[in-house]
Amino acid sequence: MSPSLPSNLVSNLYQAVPTVWLFSLHWLQAGMWLVGLLLVVWAGMRMRWARLVALLVFLTMDLVMFGAFVRLTDAGLGCPDWPGCYGRLTPAQAHVQIHEAVKQEGGDSGNVSPFKAWVEMIHRYVATIIGTLILVMAARAIWARRRGQSMRTGLPLLLLFWVIVQGMFGAWTVTLLLKPLIVTLHLMGGIILLLLAAWFWMRNRPDMRPVDAGNAARVLTRIALLGLLVQIFLGGWVSTNYAALACSGFPTCNGSWNPPADWSAGFTMWRDLGRMPDGSAITLQALIAIHWAHRLFAVVASALILAAAAAMARARELRRLAVWLVLALLVQIGLGISLVLLQHPLVPAVAHNGFAALMVLLLTAAAWRTQRVPREQYAAPSPPVMQRIRAES
């Protein structure tokens, strides 16, 4: 298989929608969307605080994995407007427009198909639910604070701000025609949202109190988390540039430990998909640089994660978490190798993204549990936030 971009994808990208923000819904369709959001608000207000936070983490994890599925199935332009699909609430209501677009592109192998439209819209539906739940969470935190309860509102408000930014990048992903940097930042925005939600979840779990694991564990878990985020960015850069097939074979790249790589072109950030800033097509050497950088830094990130796990294992309370972290890393390495050897099949590729998100969760929990907290704050902890707010529900 060729490591270059699909020719139909490159040719059709520049015939898609104008690079503007499109609010495409008819007033009736927008009203239906609003009714759905009000139902989510109602459910979020009635849900117990602990369950609401856990649901947020679960849905965000799912969204990260489903976002990978959107990218890997080339469904990012399945609905070329935003927030609807050809001005409709669902692809079923836009079937006439979708079939006309399929006809214009010469078949389902182009950017548009009924399947790709549904994949893109399901991703938007889940993202909208997550954003609404975060809005409910922020409102409940502010209300609890105004009633005199000892609720900190900083993290819920940060989550609200971040999900708004993430929504903007989601729209720009479509309206800027899958520009690689925007799509990669959209991926990273989802990962950061997962990290923040997980931190908030840890803060509201009485069984996740900080442990005096020493300075080494505290520093190494944070460095490992940062290294993992860099590695996820590099992996996203591989995916959004369609560079997964640029290197064949393992552990070498196309039979070489020093493959011909154009690092400058590979990491020219602001450009269109498949093209350089001057309009020329991106070269194979640039794609090799993108792929090879991800593989090389995987060694660094793995070493950092193993060092953090070893430091955590010295504390009895953190040994199980350290074991889970190492197991997740081993599975992730195995998935990465299989992607190269099997020519990037869909299911392992989605799982590769999912395990990256799982490792973010595990390292976030490790960073929470190894933080420096005055002993008096966790020797006799106050009732958890979920119990203080339960009276509201």
Q: Which residues are catalytic?
A: 120
**Distance, C-alpha 28 to centroid of its chain:** 31
The first and second tokens of residue 257, run together, are: 């430990």
CA gap 158, 80 in Å, rounded: 30
Q: At CA 370, angle to CA 49 and CA 297, rounded to 5?
A: 105
Q: What is the CA radius of gyration of the chain?
A: 22
Please name the residue that has the structure tokens 């989510």.
40
Residue in 158, 122, 130 with CA at minimum distance from that of residue 52: 130
Burial of 174 (0-12, 13-18, 19+ CB in 10 A): buried
Distance CA 64, CA 123 (A): 9
d(CA 317, CA 298): 28
Please provide the distance, in angstroms rounded to a whole number, between the alpha carbons at the two ends of the chain.
56
SS3 state of residue 92? coil
DSSP label at residue 85: B
The residue with tokens 């929608």 is 17
Rounded to whole angstroms, the Cα distance separating 282 from 134 reads 40
* Distance, CA of 194 to CA of 162 (rounded, Å): 11
Going by C-alpha positions, the residue among 7, 27, 144, 16 that lies closest to residue 87 is: 27
Check if the beta carbon of residue 315 is closer than 8 Å to that of residue 211. Answer: yes
Tally Cβ neighbours within 10 Å of residue 263: 14
Query: Token digits for 374?
Result: 């005055």
Tell me the three state secondary structure of residue 160. helix
- Rounded CA gap, 258 and 73, in Å? 31
